[in-house]
């Protein structure tokens, strides 16, 4: 995801802008992996292989979210790992 996209992205649930960006892997202006966080509804949206996955809860892939959180357990803030995930790991 190009960091310039941050000016266009809003939370799909409550339309919050701006979202917080947490990078776990990046190269210059491209976020390869990380997370977007909505401070209004406390949801996170993973960025996987440069793609922000911004789906409502009922369409999210639970296995993908859990794998993402486990992989990034040490690099993402606790407000994402413990509080913002719908699976409550």
Q: Tell me the pLDDT tens digit for each residue of 30-83.
A: 999 999 999 999 999 999 999 999 998 899 999 999 999 999 999 999 999 887
- Region 11-17: mean pLDDT is 95
Confidence (pLDDT) at 8: 96
- Region 6-16: mean pLDDT is 95
Element (H, E) at 4: none
Distance between CA atoms of 75 and 58, rounded to whole angstroms? 26
Tokens (6 digits) for 54: 């911004």
> Which segments within the chain are labelled E, that is strand?
20-27, 30-38, 43-48, 51-52
Tokens (6 digits) for 79: 């407000």
- Helix and strand counts by DSSP (H, E) for the chain: 2, 4
Confidence (pLDDT) at 57: 87
Q: Does the structure show a pLDDT above 80 at 87? A: no
Distance between CA atoms of 89 and 86, rounded to whole angstroms? 9
Q: Does the structure show a pLDDT above 80 at 89? A: no
71: DSSP letter: H
């Amino acid at each position: 995801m190009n960091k310039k996209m941050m000016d266009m992205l809003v939370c799909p649930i409550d339309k919050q802008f701006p979202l917080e960006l947490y990078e776990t892997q990046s190269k210059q202006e491209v976020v390869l992996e990380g997370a977007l966080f909505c401070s209004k509804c406390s949801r996170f949206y993973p960025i996987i292989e440069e793609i922000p996955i911004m789906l409502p809860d009922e369409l999210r892939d639970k296995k993908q979210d859990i794998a993402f959180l486990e992989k990034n357990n040490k690099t993402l803030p606790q407000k994402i790992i413990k509080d913002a995930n719908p699976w409550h790991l």
